[in-house]
Amino acid sequence: MGLFFSTETDNGATISVWEITESEDELLKLCSVPSEDLEELQYTRSAARRKELLAVRALLNERFEGKVYLGHHDNGRPFLQNSLTEISISHTSRYACIITHPEESVGIDIESVKRNFTAVEKKALSEEEREDVSEKNRNTHLAIYWCAKEAVYKRMSRSDTDFAKQIFIKKFTPREEGEITAYFTDKEGNEEEFELSYQIFNDHVMAWVVG
């Protein structure tokens, strides 16, 4: 299908989502992949994973007028080698998404609500957060929690982050879209507050943070 939608946020970020319906060969024709990255793709055994990675490249080609080259810092955080634009990336078997901003650090995550989040609840949520999870919409609530924490984690770009202890999500009621307050506490005890947004579409949750 290609570009599913693209939108600008109130704080100047651009979010673009690609629906992955193409074959691997079709995606290769839609994107520019440096030869060294093609070699890396060849070592990726999962065909679904290769399509996800190629869809990100196709989305970058759609999003930017000129060619941009994707790189990764040692901690895995993506960056554009020939642009100062800040970027964050996420993908599932069905969608790839990016968020960009000309100046501010960003973070984005997308997940299928059909995923089993039981392990996430035990590993990534604090006791207080687990008590706030709605029994009626349990898996969707957990999916939003996880996406929000992943978005903050990507925004902070700190290795060895304990999701349960260092990223706290203030109690919220899950809806089709909404805002969430999150707090990140570093190893020295310094706390930062973030306002995130999220939306649900086609059995997927996407959450993002800017600034």
pLDDT per position as a tens digit, 132-163: 998 888 999 999 999 999 999 999 988 889 99
Domains and CATH numbers, the chain: 2-102 (3.90.470.20), 110-210 (3.90.470.20)
Which residues, including other chains, have CB under 8 Å from residue 173's CB and lie 6 or more apart? 134
Give the predicted TM-score (pTM) of the model. Answer: 0.93
User: What average pLDDT does the chain have?
Assistant: 92
The Cα 190–Cα 205 span in angstroms is 29
The whole-angstrom separation of Cα 180 and Cα 144 is 9
CA atoms within 13 A on the CB side of 129: 26
Query: CA-to-CA distance for 111 and 32, rounded, in angstroms?
Result: 26
**51-67: burial string, b at 16+ Cβ within 10 Å, e else:** bbbbbbbbbbbebeeee
Positive or negative: CA dihedral 78, 80, 98, 96: negative
Question: Per-residue pLDDT tens for 157-170?
Answer: 888 899 999 999 99
Helix (H, G, I), strand (E, B) or coil at 119: helix
Identify which of 166, 173, 107 has the alpha carbon closest to the alpha carbon of residue 140. 173
